[in-house]
Amino acid sequence: MTMTIRWWLLLVVTTMAVAGCGSGSGSDGAAALDGRTFVSVGDEQDFPLVAGTRVRLTFRDGEVAAEAGCNHLAGSVAFDGDRLVVTEVGGTAMGCPPGLADQDDRLIGFLQGRPRWALDGDTLLLSTETARLRLTDLRSAEPDRPLTGVRWSLDTLLENGTAGSVPAGARAYLMIGAGRVTGSTGCTVFEGPASVTAGTVTFPGLSTRKTPCAKGLEGWDDGVLALLRGPLSVRVTGNRLALTRADGRGLQFTAPPR
């Protein structure tokens, strides 16, 4: 599908702005950005965003994952000198409000437009002839949340590195406390003991209770409950929590703003 990019702000990007100290060869780019997540910094007058949203880019092993408030996007990434080359972009197919759907399209068009990249410390600048997006390393913008004492809201289903959407209206969450976990799938309330070790969490003996849920969601959560019954590796990155089984399946959660 051809993505249409709509711009209402024309910018002049100076040579100085795109010739930052981090740009260079393809190997330089891969080494500088791989394994890092960047988020837009809140002054996107050069790349206007829907209120309450921000752009998030994660670079890992020749791929870039992107979000702009709606779908989870991913594509292949390479570096051609000071140009970022993003191809084969795909993503989830959530039903987004019109503003967020258009924003996803704008981000895809921007990334596929071979933007120049420049990295200055923790600041990543991406720019084309018509737009500019400034981001900062997530670990500087938002330190990792603690695993415990936080209400984590489920927003993504993971399948061997592929992100899938949680059904609309499914208000699923969990909270890990002192040796206990409580939560809900939106259709089933659960609680039980929580065993947390270095990098791993287990919820043995969960008890569950069905609750009324939105029409069309009945039964969707059986897979979620099955995933919670087994050892799960833990990765907290900023306000994101990923719980992943050894077979690559898992759940991703988001913490509320501070």
Q: Give me the chain's average pLDDT, please.
A: 83
Pair 229, 180 in one domain: yes
Pair 134, 109 in one domain: yes
**Model confidence band, residue 2 (pLDDT cutoffs 50, 70, 90):** very low
Question: Quick check: 76 pLDDT over 80?
Answer: yes
99 phi and psi angles, rounded to 5 deg = -65, -40
What was the pLDDT predicted at 110? 94
Pair 129, 82 in one domain: yes
Query: Which of 74, 109, 138 lies at the terminal end of a domain, its last residue?
Result: 138
Question: Quick check: 250 pLDDT over 70?
Answer: yes
Closest by Cα among 237, 159, 234 to 194: 234
Question: Quick check: 226 pLDDT over 60?
Answer: yes
Give 193's DSSP letter: E
Please tell me whether residue 85 adopts helix, strand or coil conformation: strand
What was the pLDDT predicted at 217? 81
Number of domains in the chain: 2
The fraction of the chain above a pLDDT of 70, given in percent, is 86
C-alpha atoms less than 13 angstroms from C-alpha of 222 in its C-beta half-sphere? 3
Residue 41 within a domain:
yes
C-alpha atoms less than 13 angstroms from C-alpha of 236 in its C-beta half-sphere? 16
Mean per-residue pLDDT, 125-136: 92
Structural contact between residues 164 and 155, judged by C-beta atoms closer than 8 angstroms: no
Residue 185 within a domain:
yes
Pair 19, 116 in one domain: yes
Residue 133 within a domain:
yes
What was the pLDDT predicted at 42? 72
32 phi and psi angles, rounded to 5 deg = -75, -35
Pair 55, 133 in one domain: yes
Residue 103 within a domain:
yes
Pair 188, 133 in one domain: no
Question: Quick check: 83 pLDDT over 90?
Answer: yes
Pair 45, 119 in one domain: yes
Question: Quick check: 40 pLDDT over 60?
Answer: yes
Q: Which domain holds residue 63?
A: 15-138
Mean per-residue pLDDT, 50-57: 89
Pair 160, 112 in one domain: no
For residue range 143-184, what is the model confidence (pLDDT) as tens digits? 889 999 999 999 888 887 677 778 877 889 999 998 999 999
pTM (two decimals): 0.63
For residue range 179-215, what is the model confidence (pLDDT) as tens digits? 999 999 989 999 999 999 989 999 998 999 998 887 7
Query: Which of 138, 172, 205 lies at the terminal end of a domain, its last residue?
Result: 138
For residue range 228-243, what is the model confidence (pLDDT) as tens digits? 988 999 999 888 899 9
Residue 52 within a domain:
yes
Pair 126, 41 in one domain: yes
Pair 96, 163 in one domain: no
Residue 216 within a domain:
yes
Residue 94 within a domain:
yes
The CATH number linked to 86 is: 2.40.128.270
Query: Which of 138, 170, 192 lies at the terminal end of a domain, its last residue?
Result: 138
Pair 36, 133 in one domain: yes
Pair 155, 245 in one domain: yes
β strands within 19-137, DSSP E: 36-40, 56-60, 63-67, 72-80, 83-91, 116-120, 123-127, 132-137
Residue 1 within a domain:
no
Give 27's DSSP letter: H
For residue range 101-110, what is the model confidence (pLDDT) as tens digits? 889 999 999 9
Structural contact between residues 175 and 183, judged by C-beta atoms closer than 8 angstroms: yes
What was the pLDDT predicted at 41? 82
